[in-house]
Structure 1
C-alpha cells in the first residue's frame, strides 16, 4: 500500500544553506556496540529513577493529536525507494534506534522523535534537531545516561505499558518499531504512515541481526499491523 502525497521540499535541518545530502553526510552513524555505563553511573541512574521517574511513554502521545505522523523503520529495502520528501512532509517524523539515513531522497532528513531500545549518543539526537526520545527496552542497563540526567525530553516505556503491548498483540518480545506503532495508533493522530517496514524481508540498517537471528517475530508483527491497516483508515504502509 502506498499513500498519494504531493511532493514537497523537505525542511532543512540545522544549517538551512546546506544541501540535504551534505546534511546526511555530516550526521554521525552511532556505533553498533552498546556502551556499558560505569558502576557509579548505573547506581546513580537507579536511584534517580526510583526517586524521580521519567515520564511514561504514553504521556507523549497527547502531542500527536491531530497530527500526520511518519514512523520510519530501518529496513534496508527503504534505500531503494524515493520516499524522502513524503516522509519529511509529515507533521511528526519518528525514527527507530540508530535510524541510519542513507540518502535524503529515500529516507528524508527530518527527525522529531527517536524510539529507542539501543544506546545512541545525545550528540546525534541534538544534531538531528529531534525534540523527544522514548526508551522502550525493559533492560535499563543500556539506558543512555543523558536521559537519566534530564538533558533531553525523555520518556520510558513502563513495565505495565510493555505487558499491555505484549498481551494485546500476543507477542513475547515486540520490536521497537512495533511498540512505537502500537503507541502511535492508540493516540488521536490524524494519520500514521509506515516507511521502512518490510518485516525483515531485508536486513536492518540498525543492527547486526539477520532474519534467522533476530529475537523478534516479524511475521507475527506483520500480521498484526496489516490487519490493523485494513480496518483503520489512518494507517498506511509504504513498501
Structure 2
C-alpha cells in the first residue's frame, strides 16, 4: 500500500483496506501455541519488585505502549511483541525493537505508516474491541485487550506482571484513575473471573 493510499484509508476509516496490512490471527496463534507468555504492564509498583529474570525467562514477552523499563531487575530486558494504542516515538521504537507490533486501539487515525508496515504487524479488530467494551461497561485498556487476545490462543500459560489496575498509577504518565476512560475495578474483576476459569492465567 502506498503512503497516500494508507493516509486515505486511515482518514476515511476504511477498515477493510487497513485490515489488508494485518497478519492473520492464525499467525499469532501459531506463534503463541504451547508457549509461556509474560505480559508486562506499566504499573509503578513493578519497579519495586524483582521480576525481571522471570519475565526474561518466558518464551514470549509482550509489553504495552511505551513500556518504561527502569531496571532490568524489575522489568527484564526483552520485548518480543508490543501492544500499542499510542504513537511510538522513534527512541522507544529503537529501544524496544519488538519483533511484532499489535495495534490494539480503535483510534485508527493514530496509526502511523511505520507501525502499519512493520514486520508481523497485527490490527486488532474493531468487533473484538466493541465486545470487550460491552462486557466491561467501559473502554478496555490495552492490557485487557491483550489478555483476551493471548488467551484466545493455545498458550501454555500467561503470567501478568505489573498489573495492579492503576492502584499505583502508571510508569508511563501521571494521570490518576479518574482521569482515564477505563473502569479498573471492572477489569480487575474480569481478570479474577478469567483466572478462576482458566488455569493458564496468573498474576505474578
- Note whether the superposition's TM-score is higher than 0.5: yes
Distance 1:126 1:160 in 2: 31
Contact 1:56–1:157 (Cα < 8 Å) also in 2:
no
Report the secondary structure of 2:145's partner residue: helix
Partner of 1:190: 156
State the 1:233 CA deviation.
1.3
1:207 paired residue among 164, 173, 183? 173
Partner of 2:93: 125
Alignment of 1:1-239 (within 5 A): 42-43=7-8, 45-46=10-11, 51=17, 53-55=20-22, 58-59=25-26, 60-121=28-89, 124-148=92-116, 150-167=117-134, 169-238=135-204
State the 1:151 CA deviation.
3.4
Distance 2:157 2:126 in 1: 27
Supply the RMSD in Å over aligned alpha carbons.
2.5
Consecutive unaligned residues in structure 2, runs of 5 or more: none
Structure 1 runs, 4 residues or longer, greater than 6 Å off: none
TM-score, normalised via structure 1 length: 0.75
TM-score, normalised via structure 2 length: 0.87
**Normalized per residue, which structure has more helix?**
2
State the 1:205 CA deviation.
1.3
